[in-house]
């Protein structure tokens, strides 16, 4: 029998620590080996116990969860899961945690603590099991390039000829996207669509953060938005992003249909609709993340003559989504994270010059 996954739980609420520990210890594959009421204790426990996974609240005394995460990732890299309440006050901190290398973010809702844990027990357990499978060598801060470092200028092309790039990402995706979007030239002659699995309260801030880091314009999607080259559009949390056919130009429209693969927005929805409209001018990119979202969409892209890129295992924080695409034989190329942006631009130019 294999050893259990050893977990340290850090939360300033004694009740929440107790409930979390009960949920985790109920699973025979998980063992809580340490409990911390602040970030300093969490850091000490991680050094002393060397757990497989750490659960961190953001709002803790002495050292908060964000600083503790930074110390852990720099001193003793360990898969970390943020378990915190999403509010306007800590929105930027949650995004920062994702950039620092947090494997996943789980929301404490405004319900009672017992209902919180009961509702999210299966999600917490599954996330811990996924996190424990990831080599710590992948878990490091991603420092995005400055806009001045983008590659040589590319001349824009008429709207009737531009291709579309659809990027799908989930767990670990915020850091991965910070290694791709800032590398794209601001005049890249393609529309870039990003589906990052995150709650609706964060997608606008996430788009703004990527825009600040990048030379190319990055915005959150709005309904009936024209699809244009040289712009990155981030899908709005809680709604699917669909490409709609019009006689003048393609547009992006909200789709409030049920979640697919347990997520909303789902990359499959965007990829299928994009492939139907842009045909061979569609490029799909599947990045780090749990689950299978993007696999059906990648199939649609291939059926319409498009190209699919998958992130490789060594650079994926969570290899679920890319692995699914690769296992189905849908990836034209499998690349490390740092090679994806140059390959996107190479393919765009190849499509343009056909």
**Among all residues, which ones are annotated catalytic?**
170, 197, 293
Q: Which residue in 174, 212, 195 sits closest to 94, CA to CA?
A: 174
Q: Which residue in 230, 226, 272 sits closest to 246, CA to CA?
A: 226
**CA triplet 331, 312, 76: central angle to 5 degrees?**
160
Alpha helices for 264-336 (secondary structure H): 267-278, 295-303, 320-327
Query: Cβ of 190: how many Cβ atoms within 10 Å?
Result: 29
What is the enclosing helix (H) or strand (E) of 33? strand 30-36
Q: What's the DSSP call for residue 297?
A: H
Encoding tokens for residue 264? 């909303």
Q: Which residue in 197, 20, 33, 220 sits closest to 105, CA to CA?
A: 197
Whole-number Å distance between alpha carbons of 108 and 334: 36
Q: Is 168 helix (H, G, I), strand (E, B) or coil?
A: strand
Encoding tokens for residue 114? 């017992």
Encoding tokens for residue 174? 């915020």
Q: Which residue in 286, 13, 290 sits closest to 128, CA to CA?
A: 290
Whole-number Å distance between alpha carbons of 193 and 178: 14
| Strand stretches in 43-142, DSSP E | 53-56, 80-85, 104-108
Question: Sign of the C-alpha dihedral, residues 197, 202, 203, 207?
Answer: negative
């Amino acid at each position: 029998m294999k050893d259990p996954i050893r977990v340290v739980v850090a939360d300033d609420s004694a009740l929440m620590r107790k409930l979390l520990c009960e949920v985790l210890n109920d699973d025979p594959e998980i063992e809580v080996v340490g409990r911390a009421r602040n970030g300093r204790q969490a850091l000490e426990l991680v050094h002393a116990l060397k757990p497989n996974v750490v659960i961190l609240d953001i709002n803790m005394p002495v050292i908060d969860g964000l600083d503790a995460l930074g110390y852990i990732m720099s001193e003793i890299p360990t898969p970390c899961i943020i378990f915190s309440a999403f509010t306007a006050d800590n929105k930027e901190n949650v995004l920062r945690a994702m950039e620092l290398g947090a494997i996943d973010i789980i929301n404490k809702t405004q319900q009672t603590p017992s209902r919180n844990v009961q509702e999210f027990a299966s999600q917490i357990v599954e996330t811990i099991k996924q996190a424990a499978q990831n080599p710590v060598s992948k878990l490091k801060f991603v420092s995005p390039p400055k806009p001045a470092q983008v590659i040589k200028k590319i001349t824009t092309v008429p709207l009737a000829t531009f291709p579309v790039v659809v990027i799908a990402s989930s767990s670990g995706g915020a850091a991965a996207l910070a290694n791709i979007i800032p590398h794209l030239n601001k005049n890249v002659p393609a529309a870039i669509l990003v589906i990052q699995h995150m709650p609706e309260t964060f997608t606008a801030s996430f788009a703004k953060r990527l825009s600040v880091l990048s030379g190319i314009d990055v915005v959150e999607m709005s309904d009936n938005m024209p699809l244009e080259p040289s712009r990155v559009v981030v899908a709005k949390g809680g709604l699917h992003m669909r490409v709609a056919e019009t006689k003048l130009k393609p547009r992006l429209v909200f789709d409030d249909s049920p979640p697919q693969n347990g997520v909303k927005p789902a990359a499959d929805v965007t990829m299928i609709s994009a492939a139907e409209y842009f045909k061979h001018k569609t490029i799909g990119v599947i990045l780090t993340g749990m689950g299978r979202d993007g696999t059906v969409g990648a199939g649609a892209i291939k059926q319409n003559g498009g190209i699919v890129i998958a992130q490789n295992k060594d650079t994926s924080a969570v290899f679920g989504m890319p692995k699914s695409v690769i296992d189905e034989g849908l990836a034209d190329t499998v690349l490390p994270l740092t090679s994806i942006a140059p390959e996107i631009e190479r393919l765009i130019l190849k499509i343009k010059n056909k």
